Structure 1
Amino acid sequence: MRASDPNAAGWEDLSLWQPLLDRRDPISRIEEQNSTRLPWLIAERHRRMAESPFAWFRGTAAQMAADLAPLPRSPHWVQLCGDAHLLNFGFYASPERSLVFDINDFDETAPGPFEWDVKRLLVSAVLVARQWQLDREEQFRLARKVAAAYRKAMAEYANLPTLKLWNCLLHVERFVEELPATAFRSHLEVAVAQALRRSGRQAIQKHCEFLPDGTAQIRHQPPLVWRHALLDPTALWASEPDLDPASIPSHSEAIAFLLAGYRESLPPHRRCQLQDFALVDTALKAVGVGSVGTRCAIGLMKGPHPEDWLLLQSKQALPSCIDQQLGNEAGHQGQRVVEGQRLIQCVCDPFLGWTSTPKGIPMVWRQLRDWKASVSLASMKPPSLKAYAKLCAMVLARAHARSGQRQTLHGALGDDKGFDRAMANFALGYSDQVEEDHRALLQAMASGRLTSSD
């Protein structure tokens, strides 16, 4: 990671948000992104982003990266998550079948100044606090305490032996058992129970149907789940300029090409594990808020045993907004995502890999669901929100400690509460901007500039 930066600044320099006079209209950025997305899902994307300022924020990592880029920044670089909001942390199964808690979204991961992740996390916490109508002083205290949790966690990780740091898992069930009997513990217990129900088998029951002859296929539920067998192949390339229908590969050709590349990206023992599985059906599937309209799909695989069913998800890997703003160079975007995830996530999905379509679109592959779940922010009271946000901050600090110069970063943070105040001040100022941008989205939808789905 970079040891210095020409825009390096002190904490006070990092505390203020003031938009540039020539700040780009955020709606034009959305329109630009829409030009590369599947047309029939664009209205759904707008609908999801319109739900609240926090929903808008979830879909606009690129906007925040563009806003941060011209501002002063610290010299301390790490591997960023790139989109470290509260709902991009969650539960999932380790390969050893233990429920763990970690960052779980890496679409934007790239090297960058550590505070970019911290700022995004704190803004998300403030936006949720505003949904609870906490006053501005309460919002500031929340953001300051979350920043302090990050700073104190970094101090702990900086003093750990390297091998211990790299094996520092947050085992959820053990963590919950050690919590006092609070509303936060009760909330986590509900979330854990939900996660344990969201197994691969449950995903297959939800998304697939078994036919009388014993075969299975993915359940067709347009427009959010659309079986490829029922889709005009040209629709997949509708956003490609100067499309030549003769150049569109058949579905079987595309799948064979994708699978070959995906298998090559896996470790040898995982390739061996998958060699007896055959792909029996595929479908487009809309996911997330920021990813709606990108090429995301699920694939149903069958092995030799009656219980050998596996549901994989492929997701288009777009260029990182962090790379675009900081001038980083990346090769295969799917490889960037996977290698970033392996660097900052303590344990990864055993089937995590990457590949490209025949048209050169980079993709990331993983299991669709294996004890994967997130907390329900809407049902959290303020004390639980603070405890959860602090937990996310500690996990974020561990990710940064793994990928950056943790002793140097700890030395810069020290016991300086000026960092906490600076991050909190920025979070409040930028949250005001997010709310203003969200109002612009609603106006663009009401005027017909942007389409919307009911």
Structure 2
Amino acid sequence: MVPRREHEVIGNIDRDPVALLKQSSEGRVPKLIPLRYGRMIASPFTFFRGSAIIQAHDLAGTRHSGVIHQICGDCHLSNFGGFATPERALLFDVNDFDETSPGPWEWDVKRLVASFVVAARHFRHGSVAADEMVRHVVSSYRDRMAEYAEMGILDTWYDRITFERLLDNASDPDVQKRIRRAMDRAAERTHEALLPKLGIREGEGDRWRILDAPPAIFHVRGEQTLFDPDDDWLGVDDPAAIVNKCFGDYTATLAPDRRQLLSHFKLHDMAFKVVGVGSVGTRCLIQLMIDTHGKPLFLQVKEASKSVVARYFKSPSVAHEGRRVVDGQRLMQAASDLFLGWSKGPFGRHFYIRQLRDMKFSADLELMDTNLLNFYARVCGWVLARAHAKAGGLAAEISGYLGTSDRIADALVIYANAYADQVERDYEIFVDACRSGRLEARTDTDMAADFRV
């Protein structure tokens, strides 16, 4: 078991970050890869968000604690957020599991603390504030893990971090005000509110169509598609039959009551929707479904490929990458999406499916002052401790390793700052590669201009 002070080491940085990014872009829609890089080039922080493969590579060159269980794999501070449970309670939790896989618990903690330093530098909060945020993450994770170590496993599984609990833990009136505002915003983020923004009723009938807004949203077989003519998806003779087959396979992964619920909805349209930073170029679709009362349901279909954690940390082989994401999410979250399931595409690609928007939102980091970011850091540490305690059932082992002193926090402050320095160096290499033509980067605005008349 590695001594806690050795967590200062940032790992194996003898690599080419551009080559790793190219590796992670393989298999994506070719015309969208420049958009991925265009979103990443905005700042070292967006670069960090889109380059999970690089840190996974680097962490593989470090010694680990020996405590292994399901981890998030891409645990940066923007991958936490609020969402509604099937019972309509509003929770705060980890909300991105594309890279989930068995791994050392500290890989999640290290990505999280590094993200706070990278973000603090980007938002110009200063080095002292950045160090304080890291300490808040680590001390919260340590103290909450000690609490979970004393709880029965059933109590750990039942534990939920609701917004009401966040209010109880916020003594600052301004922080309480922000939490209440977030709750109000979440309540407005419904399928019905999204329908007039993304869809239009065709003619005088009841049929709805998703609006094209390339490069972010477009129909795969439409006039504004970004798919190459020789793409295998465009060679399918009967796409409707394929969609029906994939949807049937997906519903088979749901509980019977949820299959019954979905049976009340009819598919009206499907389109490609570019999401996030790291996922740009992977095959991500949205399905617009309408029930018998004309009420909408948007489902998101996301491609799942091999986890960056699994690329660099030996774990059992996975038969279906979509199921890997679903199983990891169900294991780590306090409650998961009502319609979370998986399916396989016509050419062997793996997908998972969930609701596109159901009271889901992420924090506006650029609007947070240092006081609010410190509170957010404590909450993220708490959330991650709960997720790890539930996923592994090893809270006592992790808590024993962490101890009660600040030794692990001291080590991770050094790690986070050193790794943020490395991110900035990698970012400069990435920018130079884009300028030299080794990589092509295009912004959303640049690509949208291609479709203007």
Where does residue 183 of structure 1 map in the other structure? 174
Q: Take 1:178 and 1:116, find their aligned partners in 2: how far apart are those partners?
A: 27
Q: CA RMSD in A?
A: 2.0
> Is structure 2 residue 209 aligned with structure 1 residue 213?
no
Poorly superposed stretches of 4+, deviation over 4 Å: 231-234, 236-239, 243-246
Aligned partner (choices 98, 116, 125) of residue 125 of structure 1: 116
Tell me, yes or no, if the aligned pair for 2:214 and 2:224 is still in contact at 8 Å.
Answer: no
Q: Take 2:385 and 2:226, find their aligned partners in 1: how far apart are those partners?
A: 45
Aligned partner (choices 182, 187, 190) of residue 199 of structure 1: 190
> Is structure 2 residue 243 aligned with structure 1 residue 226?
no
Aligned partner (choices 369, 377, 398) of residue 409 of structure 1: 398
Which residue identity lines up with residue 438 of structure 2 in the other structure?
Answer: R
Change (3 A) 1:422 1:149: same
Which residue identity lines up with residue 60 of structure 1 in the other structure?
Answer: S
Q: Take 2:251 and 2:327, find their aligned partners in 1: how far apart are those partners?
A: 16
Where does residue 166 of structure 1 map in the other structure? 157
SS in 1 for 2:91: strand
Deviation at 1:138, TM superposition (A): 3.5
Which residue identity lines up with residue 411 of structure 1 in the other structure?
Answer: G
> Is structure 2 residue 7 aligned with structure 1 residue 14?
yes
> Is structure 2 residue 428 aligned with structure 1 residue 439?
yes
Where does residue 264 of structure 1 map in the other structure? 252
Give the count of matched residue pairs: 440
SS in 2 for 1:92: strand
> Is structure 2 residue 329 aligned with structure 1 residue 337?
no
TM-score (norm 1): 0.92
Tell me, yes or no, if the aligned pair for 2:129 and 2:370 is still in contact at 8 Å.
Answer: no
Q: Take 2:234 and 2:195, find their aligned partners in 1: how far apart are those partners?
A: 34
SS in 2 for 1:206: helix
- 5+ residue gaps, structure 2, are 447-453
Where does residue 5 of structure 1 map in the other structure? none
Deviation at 1:186, TM superposition (A): 2.6
SS in 2 for 1:96: coil
Q: Take 2:264 and 2:234, find their aligned partners in 1: how far apart are those partners?
A: 34
Q: Take 2:11 and 2:76, find their aligned partners in 1: how far apart are those partners?
A: 21
Deviation at 1:195, TM superposition (A): 1.5
Which residue identity lines up with residue 365 of structure 2 in the other structure?
Answer: L
Deviation at 1:145, TM superposition (A): 2.6
Which residue identity lines up with residue 174 of structure 2 in the other structure?
Answer: A
Q: Take 1:249 and 1:191, find their aligned partners in 2: how far apart are those partners?
A: 46
Q: Take 2:67 and 2:230, find their aligned partners in 1: how far apart are those partners?
A: 42
SS in 1 for 2:285: strand
Q: Take 1:167 and 1:13, find their aligned partners in 2: how far apart are those partners?
A: 34
Q: Take 1:74 and 1:135, find their aligned partners in 2: how far apart are those partners?
A: 31
Q: Take 2:217 and 2:431, find their aligned partners in 1: how far apart are those partners?
A: 26
TM-score (norm 2): 0.93
Deviation at 1:244, TM superposition (A): 10
Tell me, yes or no, if the aligned pair for 1:94 and 1:347 is still in contact at 8 Å.
Answer: yes
Q: Take 2:192 and 2:207, find their aligned partners in 1: how far apart are those partners?
A: 16
Which residue identity lines up with residue 214 of structure 2 in the other structure?
Answer: P
Q: Take 2:190 and 2:298, find their aligned partners in 1: how far apart are those partners?
A: 10
Aligned partner (choices 25, 28, 32) of residue 41 of structure 1: 32
Alignment of 1:355-374 (within 5 A): 355-374=343-362
Alignment of 1:257-296 (within 5 A): 257-296=245-284
Where does residue 351 of structure 1 map in the other structure? 339
Which residue identity lines up with residue 302 of structure 1 in the other structure?
Answer: I
Tell me, yes or no, if the aligned pair for 2:271 and 2:287 is still in contact at 8 Å.
Answer: yes
Alignment of 1:55-94 (within 5 A): 55-94=46-85
- 5+ residue gaps, structure 1, are 1-7
SS in 2 for 1:360: coil
Tell me, yes or no, if the aligned pair for 1:43 and 1:451 is still in contact at 8 Å.
Answer: yes
Q: Take 1:123 and 1:245, find their aligned partners in 2: how far apart are those partners?
A: 41
Tell me, yes or no, if the aligned pair for 1:150 and 1:396 is still in contact at 8 Å.
Answer: yes
Change (3 A) 1:142 1:263: same
Where does residue 451 of structure 2 map in the other structure? none
